Structure 1
Amino acid sequence: MTAFSRSIHLSVHIHKDPAAIAERAAHILAAACEEAVADRGTFRIALSGGHTPIPLFRLLAGKDWADRLPWDKMVFFWTDERCVGPEHADSNYNLARRELLSHVPATHFFRMRGEEDPVQAAARYEEQIRSEFGISPQELPRFDFILLGMGEDGHTASIFPNSPAMEEKKRLVIDQYVPERKADRLTLTLPVLNNARCCMFLVTGREKHQVLSQALNLLEQPTLPAQKVRPGFGDLIWIADEAAALGERAH
């Protein structure tokens, strides 16, 4: 099932389960990649962490999909990172490496240095982004594709409700301490997300039903981080399973 809003280039897709979500997401990603490579010669994508994108990563790494994508033209970044080393079980980079990147001929990627001092790591990642995109200190990067998830509290990337990241306007990457998680995080900021050509959310699980309904309510003033992701000159895609979309009504 698909619904469209012409005003903000929104599309919402509801599928039976995470496997079906991964299939739909793979097709959307591949189409965006093909267009970007044809138009600009490269496809710059930012990956998210957590459990939700794992089925997509595994699908893309499998034999049916691995040969479809121009891995040598793809440049990988990350939306956020825990402040741990690259081999740590909680590392978003390690998750993507384990489930996807180590299985395909991808060679161009820029990971967030979670093992370094958070302030320095955020500044370093911002410098890397500016260098890779060839932009001035006043400009925003324009990612071709940003893959996102959403927590039960409505956070996305590592932008949490009522955090300083919600109001950040100037920096591309920030460090912040998340009291609820008792940990430091690195994250891309909302101006970066909202300048992307495409932001795609993957949402699964009945426990996400209430927050998903709120996030998709375009009539109310956005208060959740995920609600504030509204690309001004790009597409916003939400893909949810029936459990998240329908809650108790899901079979």
Structure 2
Amino acid sequence: MPGRSRSIHLSLHIHKTPEAMAERAAHIFAAACEEAVSERGVFRIALSGGQTPVALFQLLAKSDWADRLPWDKMVFFWVDERCVGPDHPESNYGMARRELLAHVPATHFYRMRGEADPVEAASRYEAQIREDFGLAEGQLPRFDFILLGMGADGHTASIFPGSPLLGVKKPEEKRRLVADVYVPERKADRITLTLPVINNARLCMFLVAGAEKHAALADALNLLTEPVLPAQRVRPRVGDLIWIVDEAAALGR
């Protein structure tokens, strides 16, 4: 992936099964890891939750993949988190721990504290990111790999259509790295990385499955129109954008 210009490098991979999606994603993950460790000595990742990445996490936890990855040189962060404790079934961190982290020798990971006050948790997580990346005021972190999902409504991370983070009713959030958000549709608070952080990554990879996501996927893949949906707003400034989808999402059936 060297020699990037300021254009978006987008690629789309369509597979029949979750297992095939996971296999493709694992190869991309491993290649990004190898490049990051070779060039910078560390691989910084931000993970998402939901059901779609479970197959990838389970694959990476198997010995034939786990034994070839330098877990001691990986630093795990999270893209977003529900405001629940780490042992709650809906915790994004908890899912990653159950399906992946508990089975590999990873030692560097920083979870969003969903059980804490969301304003305080977002502030603390931003401070953690600034410390780990060694950021000066006004700088953005540059994650090596950000794993994303997309809902049928086009949301990604915990940035939903109409979110204040999109600048619908006030200027788009460009200052904070991590934000606390209230999601009216879910009647719940969440914590999320902001779009400037996501769009500063070296590689953003979406995993999307299900026919109900076809319409949103078609919009998100259209780079020629003004971006409206949150997932459509993921356009890395200097990086790669990879979509791995199943046939149901691609074809709508």
Q: TM-score range by the shorter chain?
A: over 0.9
State the SS of the aligned residue for 1:64. helix
Matched, 1:222 2:224: no
Aligned to 1:74: 74
Report if aligned partners of 2:7, 2:237 keep a CA contact under 8 Å in 1: no
RMSD of equivalent CA atoms: 0.9
Q: Which runs of 5+ in 2 are unaligned?
A: 1-5, 167-171
Task: Report what 2:37 is aligned to.
Answer: 37
Aligned length, in residue pairs = 243
Secondary structure of residue in 2 paired with 1:113 = coil
Contact 2:203 2:241 survives alignment (8 Å) = yes
Kindly indicate whether residue 61 of structure 2 is the aligned counterpart of residue 56 of structure 1: no
Amino acid at match of 1:172: L
Q: Kindly provide the CA deviation profile for residues 53-96 of structure 1, in whole angstroms up to 9, marking residues without a partner as x.
A: 00000000012211011000000000000001111111000000
> TM-score, with normalisation over the residues of structure 2?
0.95
Report the CA distance between 1:7 and its aligned residue: 3.7
1:29-178 map, 5 Å: 29-166=29-166, 167-178=172-183
Q: CA deviation at 1:217?
A: 1.1
SS of 1:23's equivalent? Answer: helix
Residue 237 of structure 1: aligned partner: 242
d(CA) in 2 for partners of 1:201, 1:140: 21
TM-score, normalised via structure 1 length: 0.95
For 1:188 and 1:104, locate their aligned partners in 2 and report how far apart those are by CA, in whole Å.
25
SS of equivalent to 2:12: strand
The aligned residue for residue 169 of structure 2 is none
Structure 1 unaligned residues grouped into runs of 5+: 1-5
User: AA paired with 1:216?
Assistant: L
1:180 alignment partner in structure 2: 185
- d(CA) in 2 for partners of 1:64, 1:245: 30
| 1:16 CA drift (Å) | 1.2
Q: Secondary structure at the match of 1:191?
A: helix
- For the 8 Å contact 2:82–2:190, the answer to whether it is kept is yes
Deviation at 1:193, TM superposition (A): 0.3
In 2, the alpha carbon distance for the partners of 1:132 and 1:173 equals 14
Q: Secondary structure at the match of 1:65?
A: helix
Q: How far apart, in 1, do the equivalents of 2:117 and 2:158 lie?
A: 17
The answer to whether structure 1 residue 201 and structure 2 residue 206 are counterparts is: yes
Q: Secondary structure at the match of 2:87?
A: coil
How far apart, in 2, do the equivalents of 1:43 and 1:109 lie? Answer: 12
Q: Secondary structure at the match of 2:252?
A: helix
Amino acid across the alignment from 2:148:
L
Identity of aligned residues (%): 77
CA distance in structure 1 between the partners assigned to 2:137 and 2:145 by the alignment:
22
